[in-house]
Amino acid sequence: MAAPATTPVVLNDEPAVAADYAGVVTRAIALGIDAAIVQGALLLIAGMLALIGALVGGVEFGPVAKVLTATGWALITAGYFVVGWSTSGQTLGMRMMELSVLTEARLVPPGFWRSVLRVVLLVLCIIPCFLGFVPVLFDARRRGAHGLIARTVVLHVDAVP
End-to-end CA distance of the chain: 35
Q: Is the pLDDT of residue 121 over 70?
A: yes
- Distance CA(131)–CA(133), nearest Å, equals 5
Whether 12 is covered by a domain: the verdict is: no
* HSE-up of residue 34 (Cα within 13 Å, Cβ side): 25
> From the centroid of its chain, how far is CA 25?
14
Whether 8 is covered by a domain: the verdict is: no
Whether 100 is covered by a domain: the verdict is: yes
Q: Is the pLDDT of residue 4 over 50?
A: no
- Count the domains in the chain: 1
Q: What is the model's pLDDT at position 65?
A: 87
Q: Name the residue range of residue 59's domain.
A: 19-159
- Distance CA(147)–CA(130), nearest Å, equals 14
Whether 6 is covered by a domain: the verdict is: no
Whether 9 is covered by a domain: the verdict is: no
Whether 5 is covered by a domain: the verdict is: no
Whether 153 is covered by a domain: the verdict is: yes
Single pTM value for the model: 0.85
